[in-house]
Amino acid sequence: MGGLIVVVGLIWLVKTAGFVMHAAKAPGTVIAMERNTSSKGGSTYTPIFIFPDASGVVHTQRASFGSSSYTFEPGEKVTVLYDVSAPKRSEIDSFQTVWLGPLIFTGFGLVFGGFAGFWLLSHPFNPAGGWQADCGRFVRN
């Protein structure tokens, strides 16, 4: 399972890097921090921002992430990365909005996969008896 998470995370990282390399930059402004409340009562805040594309059309977007605290203030000037052929595909140009999600996902997969790999190496499979529970030593019946 950890390996699958790592693969998905690496694909996400590569797609993110491709987006960043090919994205146009525009000046933008955070116009609001939208509050979302979970069923458990916790709140997250998602930035809503505006930016003009290369032709001057102004777009209003919601960031693809939320945070438990204000990461931006309404009125704050930001740089926006956007896909010229699809300006709705845009992000505020910051580490948190662009890179944090794929890095955490990939890191989780590496940690989870590392623990699983360690366990598998320390508990070899015995075709006659299944997984051995006493730290990798085969037990004879």
Please give the share of the chain, as a percent, with pLDDT higher than 70. 82
Q: What is the pLDDT of residues 12-25, one digit of tens each?
A: 888 888 888 999 99
Report, in angstroms and rounded to the nearest whole number, the Rg of the chain calculated over CA atoms: 22
Mean pLDDT of the chain: 82
Instruction: Dig out the tokens for 120 from the structure.
Output: 């598998």
What mean pLDDT do residues 118-132 have?
64
Q: Is the pLDDT of residue 97 over 60?
A: yes
Task: Provide the pLDDT confidence category of residue 129 given band limits of 50, 70 and 90.
Answer: low
Residue with tokens 């204000």: 70
Please report the pLDDT score of residue 58 as a whole number. 97
All structural domains of the chain with their residue ranges: 2-125
The pTM score is 0.68
Give the integer Cα–Cα distance in Å for 47 and 26: 16
Burial of 40 (0-12, 13-18, 19+ CB in 10 A): exposed
Please report the pLDDT score of residue 90 as a whole number. 94
Angstrom CA distances, 110 to 9, 11, 14, 105, 125, stand at 10, 14, 16, 9, 22
What mean pLDDT do residues 89-112 have?
82
Q: Is the pLDDT of residue 48 over 80?
A: yes
